[in-house]
Amino acid sequence: MLSPKSFPFIEATLPIIAERISSITPNFYNRLFAAHPELLDGIFSRSNQKNGTQQQALAGSIAVFATYLVKHPGTAPETMLARVAHKHTSLGVAEEQYPIVYKHLFDAIAEDLGDALTPEIADAWTEVYWLMAHALIKIEKGLYAQQANAGIYAPWKLVERAETGVDSVILSFEPADGTPVTVAKPGQFVSVRMPMADGLRQVRQYTLSNDVEHARRTITVKLDVNGEFSPVIHNNLEIGGVIELSNPYGDLVIDNEGSPLVIATAGIGCTPSAAALQTLAAHGSTRKITVLHADQEITTWPLREQMLESIGKLPGATLSTWFERGELPEGLNAQSGYMDLAAALSEDAQVYLCGPLPFMNAVRTQALEAGIPAERIHYEVFGPDVWLAA
C-alpha cells in the first residue's frame, strides 16, 4: 500500500511518468548494460533489446503497477506480477540485483525529467519501485523454494529429435547429471541457455510440450531464419548434445475439471495447449473442452498428431480448425480463413489463448465482445509481454 505521504505525488505525476516511461526505459537499459555488460551474457535477450519489446514490457509493468496503487489501493495486479516473477525465476534473477536495476532506472528518470524531478517526487517513485520489487522478490522466493534443486540451470542431453509441421522440431532431453528434477506442470516453460556464434550466451523460453510429469523435458522449436536463437538450436544440436535447461516455471496451468474450457491457438502457440490436452487425457478428464486451432495449412500445424490423439481420448473435447490456404482436411471440422470464436463461447467459459500477438488481439476482442470477463481470458505471450502496456 502506498504511504499517505507519497500518494498525492504519485497521483499527480502518474500521467507524465506513464507518458515518459517508454523513452526512459531505453536509456535505463543503456546505462544498465554499460555498467554491467555481464547481464548480456546469458540473462537479457539482445534480440528483445534490439526490437524494443523488453523496454516496452518494463515500461508497461511500471505504469500498470503505479496505476493500481492509485486507483485500486490495497490490491495488486497479481496476474502481471506472477507473469514477471515466473519469467525472472526462469532466468535466475536474484534479490541482490534489484538495487542495481533501481540505480540505473532512477538515473535514467532523473536525466529525463531534469529539474521537474523534485526530491518529493523522487521519494514517492522510489517507494513505488520498492513496493513492486518486494512484491516480485516475495513471489520469486516462493517459486525458487518449490524447486527440487537450488540451481538455476542443469545440463540436459538431447535423446530424441523429430520434425513436426513445417520448420519445427520436437526435441526431448534427459538429465545429463544427478541434479534432482522438478516435476513440471502442463503449460509450464523452461529457459534454454546456449552459446551463440560469438560466444555470448543467449536464453529463450520454450513451453514443455510432452511428458511433463516425467523426468524428461520436451520442447518444440520453430525455426525463425532471421532470428538469432532458433537457427543455432536447429543446426547445432545433435542427439547426445548437452544444453542448459532451467527448472520449470509458468502459471498458465489448466485444471482437470471445472467450467467449460475454450482453447484457441494459432501456429506454434499450440505447444502449451498440446501439453495440457495430453495431461487432461492422461487423467481421464471429462471437462467440456473446445479446441480451436488456426494455421497456414494442415501441414504447417506443429504437434498435430499429439493433439489429435489427446483430443480423441477426451470424451468432452471437440475440435475446430481454420486454415489460410491449401485443401481443407476431412474430419477436423476445418474452415478456411480466420478463426471465429463466437460459436464456441458459453457464458461460464474459461478461455485460453496462445499464438502471435495479432491473432491474440483478434480473438481476445471476440471473447470480450461476447461478454467473457477479462479475468476468464488467460493468455501466453511468447517473448516479452508487450500487452502489459495496453
Q: Which of residues 119-138 bind ligand HEM (CB under 6 A)?
A: 129, 132-133, 136
Residue 84 or residue 237: which is nearer to ligand HEM going by CB? 84
Residue 140 appears among annotated catalytic residues: yes
The answer to whether 268 and 223 have CB atoms below 8 angstroms apart is: no
Residue number, 21 or 332, with CB nearest to ligand HEM: 21
* Min dist. Cβ of residue 33 to ligand HEM (A): 10
Q: Are 207 and 275 in contact (CB under 8 A)?
A: yes
Cα gap 278→310, rounded to integer Å: 5
Distance separating alpha carbons of residues 252 and 136, to the nearest angstrom = 18
26: its cell numbers: 531505453
| Residues shown for the chain | 390
Q: What is the DSSP track for 185-243? A: PTT-EEEEEEE-TTS-EEEEEEEEEE-TTTT-EEEEEE--TTSSHHHHHHHH--TT-EE
Residues 48-107 that bind ligand HEM (CB under 6 A): 48, 54, 57-58, 61-62, 83-84, 87-88, 91, 93, 97-98, 101
Which is catalytic among the residues 29, 127, 129, 140? 140
- Residue 41 vs 211, nearer CB to ligand HEM: 41
Helix (H) or strand (E) holding 45: none
Residues 56, 60, 65: CA angle, nearest 5 degrees: 155
Under the criterion CB under 6 A, does residue 271 sit at the interface with ligand HEM? no
CB closer to ligand HEM out of 191 and 265: 191
288 binds ligand HEM (CB under 6 A): no
Q: Is 287 in the site for ligand HEM (CB under 6 A)?
A: no
Q: Is 338 a catalytic residue?
A: no
Specify the DSSP element, H or E, that contains 55.
Answer: helix 53-71
Per CB under 6 A, 353 contacts ligand HEM: no
Size of the site for ligand HEM (CB under 6 A): 26
User: Under the rule (CB under 6 A), what is the footprint of ligand HEM?
Assistant: 39, 43-45, 48, 54, 57-58, 61-62, 83-84, 87-88, 91, 93, 97-98, 101, 129, 132-133, 136, 384-385, 388
> Which residues carry out catalysis?
98, 140
